[in-house]
Each structure stands twice: as structure tokens, then as C-alpha cells.
Amino acid sequence: MTTSQPAGVSEADLEHLFDRTIADDARIEPRDWMPDGYRKTLIRQVAQHAHSEIIGMQPEGNWLTRAPSLRRKAILMAKVQDEAGHGLYLYSAAETLGADRVDLTVKLIEGKQKYSSIFNYPTLTYADVGTIGWLVDGAAICNQVPLCRSSFGPYARAMIRVCKEESFHQRQGYELLATMMRGTDEQRAMVQESVNRWWWPALMMFGPPDDKSPNTEQSMQWKIKRHTNDELRQRFVDMSMPQAKALGVTFPDPDLAWNEERGSYDFGEPDWNEFTEVITGNGAANAERIANRRAAHEDGVWVREAAMAFAARNEETN
Ligand code: BYC
């Protein structure tokens, strides 16, 4: 039992009500009774999602000081700030489940909670800013649009705004790459090289294959997740192929081919050993990302203390 249980109402009744709410496709709200496993799963996923947004500011933020024009700098700055906002909505959603945001951040920097594998790859050229917008935000949209129908109200509602902003991010990435593709041979080569590096990691964002995904079945029963990892990965491949053709780039996968029978693209297998290495902390940029996050958290102590003192004084005087 983790939520208030009205006198005279048995746990079995509450569980029945929870099951009916899920079956009716209605929303579970923070005040409602929920099984401990449901709460735990949501805190895990929402916290991981929040951490991803915040850590995800780093790869692109790396290029803020070297944007090729004032216009590109303003666009990039706005995008990176949007990601901070997404992190904040999501930490707030996690707080409605009883989690504490400082505690979640400490778990992240101590390596006890994960964040998306994708942010452990370095950004080597400005084309990476475009590729992240196009493919990484594109994959995020594929994954997150169904989460707008997630059974937990605060998470689903946060996703609506996040998805609107991610759609804009995706378009700005595509527009940046399209501009480069209309440029010089060197710029076109830079785009293709960037797409070659990000394609497989983007496919890995959807998580392990369904037969190796321990959480999917239960999360789908609870309607936290609406599709399996492989279903969404397929949707992303199908969505990206026409865009790649329009852009004039290719994906580094010899097995990519239209399958008339399935009405979908066949594609190769990502390197799941690499994925395991990355999510266990051994990717190219894991140490740097966490060191930066730790430094920001430590540098921010005085800000948090000042805000708390201000809030306490306001409470005293009101
Ligand atoms: N990276 O049973 P599974 C963004 C873990 S940020 C790392 O399939 P689940 C953006 C998984 O946590 C968008 N770990 O799990 C920001 C589990 O480990 P634990 C980020 C991964 O939860 C800035 C284990 O592997 N999006 O858009 O059912 C700039 C087994 O997996 C990954 C989200 O966070 C991974 N890729 O499904 C630009 C979306 N995949 O926790 C863009 C919300 C799996 O048991 N999250 N793991 O130790 C989800 O939809 C689901 O959590 C996942 C995984 C589909 C990712």
C-alpha cells in the first residue's frame, strides 16, 4: 500500500478499481491507489526519460559556441533550452509519484539510474546538430507520441507538450541538413558521414529487441507503453526512409530493403553488444556526460539553498 486507503475500502476493491480504470483506457492520477509495481515502473521510466532530456542538452550544447551563424546559434540555443524544459516537466511528473528530484539526480550521477544510450556518442561536426534533430528527435517522437496515451495522467499530459516541441526540433534538424545538402560537396559529405555515425545508435534508442526486453509485457498490460520496442523501431525505419531519399542520403545498412509483402522496410540488426556496453557506462562519452552533470549539480548547491531559503521566508511571512 503506497497511497491513501479510505477507511472501509479493501485493497482488493482498490485494485479492482485500478484494473477497471486501465481496462477503460481512463487515466490513473497521483491521488489514486496504484500497485507498488506500477508506481516503481513509472518512476524508473519517467526518471530515465527526465535524465535523458537533461543529459541530452550536452551533445548539442557542445556546438553553441561554434554555431556557423547567429541564426543557427539562436535556433540551437532555443532547442537546448526546450530540452531543459522537458526535463523539468518530467521530474515534476516523477514527483507526483512520490519521488524526490534531488534524490533522482543523485542516483543518476552515481550511476544507479540510466539515461538514453544515444547521448553517449560524441558530436564531431556541425552536421551532427542537424542529424540529432532529424534522427534522434525523430526517434524520440516515434517513441513519445504513443506515450501521450500512457495510462498515468501527469506523464501523458507532459508528453503532449514535449511532442509538439520535439516535432519542431525534428523539422529544424531536417532543414539544417537540407541546407547543407544544397551546399558544397564537402558539406554533403559531412552530412552523410554524420548520418552514418548516428543511424545505428538511433535505432538502439527504442531499447532491446522484444524477446530481450524484460519490462515491455508488464508495461503494456498497464498501458504505460502502448507499443513494443520492435514495433516502434520498425515505424521509425519506415518513416525515415522516404525522408532520407528526399534529402539525398543513405543509411549504412546493406539489408535495408522494401518488403512488399509486409508493406515495411526490412533492416539489419543493431550491434546489441555495443548497446549493452553503452548502457552499462562504457560508451564513448558516458564518463564526460556524468562528470559534467555532477559538476553542474555541485555548482548549483547555492542556487538550490537560496531558493529554499526564499521559499521558507515567504511561508513565514504569509
Ligand atoms: N538507453 O525492458 P526494456 C530526447 C534499458 S530524450 C538506455 O525494453 P523499458 C532528446 C531500460 O531502462 C528521449 N537504457 O525497458 C533529448 C531497462 O533497464 P532498467 C528519451 C535503455 O523501460 C535531448 C533495460 O534497458 N526517451 O528525446 O520497457 C536532445 C531493458 O529495456 C534504453 C525516453 O526516455 C536506451 N535506449 O523500455 C534530443 C522515452 N532502452 O531500467 C532528444 C521513454 C532500454 O530495467 N522511455 N534501456 O535498468 C521508454 O519509452 C522506455 O523506457 C524505453 C525502454 C523504450 C526506452
Q: How many CB atoms lie within 10 A of CB 98?
A: 11
Q: What is the pLDDT of residue 30?
A: 98
- What lies within 8 Å, CB to CB, of 247 at 6+ separation is 174, 177, 178, 181, 191
> Ligand 1: which of 62, 75, 279 to mutate, judged by most atoms within 8 Å of the beta carbon?
279
**Atom nearest to 204 CA in ligand 1:** 36
Grid coordinates representing 123?
Answer: 558530436
For CA atoms 64, 67, 72, 73, the dihedral sign is positive
Cβ < 6 Å from ligand 1: which residues? 44-45, 48-49, 52-53, 56, 83, 114, 116-117, 132, 136-137, 140, 143, 204-208, 213-216, 219, 225, 229, 279
Q: What is the pLDDT of residue 295?
A: 98
Q: What is the pLDDT of residue 3?
A: 52
pLDDT digits (tens, 9 = 90+) for 277-301: 999 999 999 999 999 999 999 999 9
**pTM score, whole prediction:** 0.96
Instruction: Yes or no: say if 129 and 76 are a contact pair by the CB < 8 Å rule.
Output: yes
Q: What is the pLDDT of residue 5?
A: 62
- DSSP percent split of the chain into helix, strand, coil, nearest 5: 70, 5, 30
How confident is the prediction along the chain (318 residues), in pLDDT tens digits per residue? Answer: 445 566 778 999 999 999 999 999 999 999 999 999 999 999 999 999 999 999 999 999 999 999 999 999 999 999 999 999 999 999 999 999 999 999 999 999 999 999 999 999 999 999 999 999 999 999 999 999 999 999 999 999 999 999 999 999 999 999 999 999 999 999 999 999 999 999 999 999 999 999 999 999 999 999 999 999 999 999 999 999 999 999 999 999 999 999 999 999 999 999 999 999 999 999 999 999 999 999 999 999 999 999 999 999 999 987
Q: What is the pLDDT of residue 164?
A: 96
Q: What is the pLDDT of residue 2?
A: 46
